[in-house]
């Protein structure tokens, strides 16, 4: 089992938008190791709203490669292909939803540090920068930039460490995955069924819905159960 901490930055949030920045690192022996990061040309203009968040301009990425043509794409495709692996991120299903637009479907389990923080720490504010300040995850002399893939991976890792003071890795996976087992959709205008149940009966019935589902949580559940049935 590999535990991978992930964050992405996108050109925007519409159907046409694509990856512009990714960072991944391995969690091993309570340390963050083997950090990899990349900057990519999305092939579409970066939305102004997205730029205000991550400050990545069109000029910065215009000479960068398209994500799908890189070794980074192949790396993530491999990591996501195993149910034994665990992807850690803050509201990580959003990252996986956007990466699916690039053609990478995720069979791996997740640890969603946002969901776990709500459940375990009883917080009502879930923004990563708020939790970092509230939990003293960053020292005063450190320069970690929020809303950058690399910076958010570092902070997510520290939040993950904080959660591990209360629960095991297996328990964090269970907390993160539990909501997805109950997600349901209606197939062929029939009564709603859980996505897991649909996959167990005939997973191919889900195929037309991959193009229409817009909710990241539902899409992740479809990817996970379809990939592992």
**What six digits make up the tokens of 175?**
């907390």
- Contact between residue 188 and residue 130 where contact means Cβ atoms under 8 Å apart: no
For 39, phi then psi, to 5°, come to -120, 135
pLDDT at 34: 93
3-state secondary structure 166-205: CCCHHHHHHHHHHHHHCCEECCCCCCCEEHHHHHHHHHHH
Q: What residues contact residue 28 under an 8 Å CB cut-off, 6+ apart?
A: 3
pLDDT, one tens digit for every residue, the chain (229 residues): 999 999 999 988 888 889 999 999 999 998 999 999 999 999 889 988 888 888 899 899 999 999 988 999 999 999 999 999 999 999 999 999 999 999 999 999 999 999 999 999 998 899 998 998 889 888 777 777 777 899 999 999 999 999 999 999 999 999 999 999 999 998 877 789 999 999 999 999 999 989 889 999 999 999 999 999 8
Extents of the domains making up the chain = 3-180, 182-229
For residues 22-31, b (16+ Cβ closer than 10 Å) or e, as one string? bbbbebeeee
pLDDT at 51: 81
Q: Which CATH architecture has domain 3-180?
A: 2-Layer Sandwich (3.30)
């Amino acid at each position: 089992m590999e535990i991978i901490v992930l964050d992405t930055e996108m050109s925007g949030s519409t159907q046409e938008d694509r990856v512009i920045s990714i960072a991944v690192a391995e969690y091993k022996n309570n340390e963050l190791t083997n950090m990899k990061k990349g900057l990519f040309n999305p092939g579409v203009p970066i939305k102004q709203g997205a730029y205000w968040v991550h400050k990545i301009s069109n000029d910065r990425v215009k000479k960068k490669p398209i994500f799908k043509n890189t070794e980074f794409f192949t790396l993530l495709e491999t990591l996501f292909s195993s149910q034994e692996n665990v992807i850690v991120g803050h509201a990580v299903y959003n990252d996986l939803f956007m990466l699916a637009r690039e053609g990478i479907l995720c069979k791996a389990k997740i640890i969603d540090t946002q969901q776990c923080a709500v459940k375990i720490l009883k917080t009502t504010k879930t923004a990563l920068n708020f939790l970092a300040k509230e939990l003293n995850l960053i020292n005063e002399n450190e320069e970690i930039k929020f809303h950058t893939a690399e910076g958010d991976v570092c902070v997510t890792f520290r939040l993950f460490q904080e959660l591990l003071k209360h629960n095991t890795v297996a328990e964090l996976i269970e907390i993160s995955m539990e909501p997805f087992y109950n997600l349901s959709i209606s197939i062929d205008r029939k009564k709603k069924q859980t996505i897991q149940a649909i996959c167990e009966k005939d997973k191919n019935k889900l195929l037309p819905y991959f193009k229409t589902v817009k909710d990241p949580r539902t899409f992740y559940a479809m990817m996970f159960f379809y990939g592992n049935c």
